[in-house]
Amino acid sequence: MTESHDPTPDAWAAVFARMAGVLLSEQTVTTVLELITSLAKDTLPGTVGAGITLVEETGGRSTSAATGPMVEDLDALQYDLGQGPCLTAIRDAAAVRADDLEEEERWPQWSGRAVQAGMVSSLSVPLQYAGRIMGALKVYSDRPHAYTADSEDILGRFADQAAILLANMHTLTAAEALNERLRRALRDRDVIATAKGIVMLRENLDADRAVQRLLESSIQRRIAVREVAAEIVASTHTETV
């Protein structure tokens, strides 16, 4: 009978509370991913290293968190060779378990090098959210058959949480960027409107002609209209000092 190492509900609650706490307090993807890899390593018996690979927008792969240099080296080898359990998990969107890398035939080059590094088995699961493959979470062991169906389920839960947290962080980052663009646009609009009013008063122009004057100055000086406007507004402050 396969021994189950599934944590108790209380243990899972503590794990996810720590993950959520970091998300709320630090707001950094790196911190969250490092915590997830550390928890995965500590939760699955026999694990000597864990890491997370993320799929970049350009299609590349990068290790965003790892519990040690060994994981980083084995991941880098996968990227260089274009083969390995983590890449297969990402490509197939499915859990990939290697029970004995000495006998593994799916990734002969990578497996041989992994064995030389002292690793004998591995387990990789994809990070998926809303149908999107965001990367993979993987663990390595220095003993054969270290992972079971229970291990897949446990690591899958970590991967699910990681994917949700990543999606939330991406959403938050996108929202913050949008808010900043909107704030900048409003600031620019206000500065340009103020500069237009100054030009109207200084040169006795109507609104349309004042705007035209700002545009002409922008073109002649090859700078943005907002920069022209900012200089005009700043000049009035200098005049009043």
Residues 78 and 32 in one domain: yes
Q: Where residue 149 sits, what CATH number does that domain have? A: 3.30.450.40
Better-predicted residue by pLDDT, 185 or 62: 62
Residues 165 and 53 in one domain: yes
Domain of 203 in residue numbering reads as 177-240
Q: Please name which of 233, 212, 215, 232 lies closest in space to residue 223, comparing C-alpha atoms.
A: 215
Residues 149 and 232 in one domain: no
For 85-106, the pLDDT digits (tens) are: 999 999 999 999 999 999 999 9
**C-alpha distances in Å from residue 163, one per residue of 30, 67, 191:** 13, 19, 42
pLDDT of residue 83: 94
Residue 57, in any domain of the structure: yes
Residue 2, in any domain of the structure: no
pLDDT above 90 (res 74): yes
Q: What is the DSSP letter of 99?
A: S
Work out how many domains the chain is built from and give that number: 2
Query: Tokens 């500069």 sit at which residue?
Result: 195
59-67: long-range contacts (C-beta < 8 A, 24 or more apart)? 61/87, 61/90, 61/135, 64/29, 64/30, 64/33, 64/135, 65/30, 65/33, 65/34, 65/36, 65/37, 66/37, 67/37, 67/38, 67/41
What is this structure's pTM?
Answer: 0.65
Number of neighbouring beta carbons within 10 Å of residue 163: 20
pLDDT of residue 237: 65
For 116-154, the pLDDT digits (tens) are: 999 999 999 999 988 889 899 999 999 999 999 999 999
